């Protein structure tokens, strides 16, 4: 089977993007190709004017008695981790064309960490029979 790790990024909070970026970096460090499809709120977070902003935390963080990140949300440096993953190995970031339509986001509005634009079929074809992780 394909040894690619394939991630569908749907969520746009710093904690989930961090979880995704660490998976990508781990796989890249093991010389595995990584394909990332960026959809919906993740796509929205990848806009140039938003990607460096404080993206907040998941709903789970609002629960009574939940811990807070040491150093605050800003300390969850998911973007640095994702950039490192791209330096470590073959990590392709694809903006989902369907989500671009739904949210009205053009390719020119996205951060250059996005490599190209494409649809589900492109992503599934690249993923072949490798692992797919939806985050």
**What is the smallest separation between the CB atom of 112 and its own copies, expressed in angstroms?**
19
In this structure, how many other beta carbons lie within 10 angstroms of the beta carbon of residue 20?
Answer: 25
- What letter does residue 122 receive in the DSSP assignment? H
Q: How far is the CB of 23 from its own copies (least distance, A)?
A: 6
Q: What are phi and psi of 59, to 5 degrees?
A: -50, -40
- Among 134, 37, 25, 39, smallest CA distance to 90 is for 25
Point out which span in 86-94, 110-118, 127-135 binds its own copies (CB under 8 A). Answer: 127-135
User: Which structure tokens are listed for 60?
Assistant: 């789970």
> Is residue 132 involved in binding its own copies (CB under 8 A)?
yes
CB contact at 8 A, 11 and 17: yes
The binding site for its own copies (CB under 8 A) comprises 1, 3, 5, 8, 10-13, 15-16, 18-19, 22-23, 25-27, 29-30, 39-41, 44, 47, 50, 53, 55-56, 58-61, 63-70, 75-76, 98, 101-105, 119-121, 123-125, 127, 129-135
């Amino acid at each position: 089977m394909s040894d690619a790790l394939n991630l569908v990024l749907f969520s746009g909070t710093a904690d989930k993007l961090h979880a995704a970026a660490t998976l990508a970096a781990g796989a890249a460090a093991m010389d595995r190709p990584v394909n990332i499809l960026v959809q919906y709120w993740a796509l929205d977070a990848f806009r140039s004017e938003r990607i460096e902003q404080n993206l907040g935390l998941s709903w789970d963080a609002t629960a009574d008695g939940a811990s807070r990140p040491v150093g605050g949300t800003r300390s969850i440096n998911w973007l640095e981790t994702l950039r490192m993953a791209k330096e470590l190995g073959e990590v392709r970031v694809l903006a989902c064309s369907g989500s671009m339509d739904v949210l009205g986001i053009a390719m020119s509005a996205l951060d250059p960490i996005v490599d190209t634009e494409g649809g589900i079929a492109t992503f599934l074809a690249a993923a072949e029979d490798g692992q797919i992780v939806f985050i």
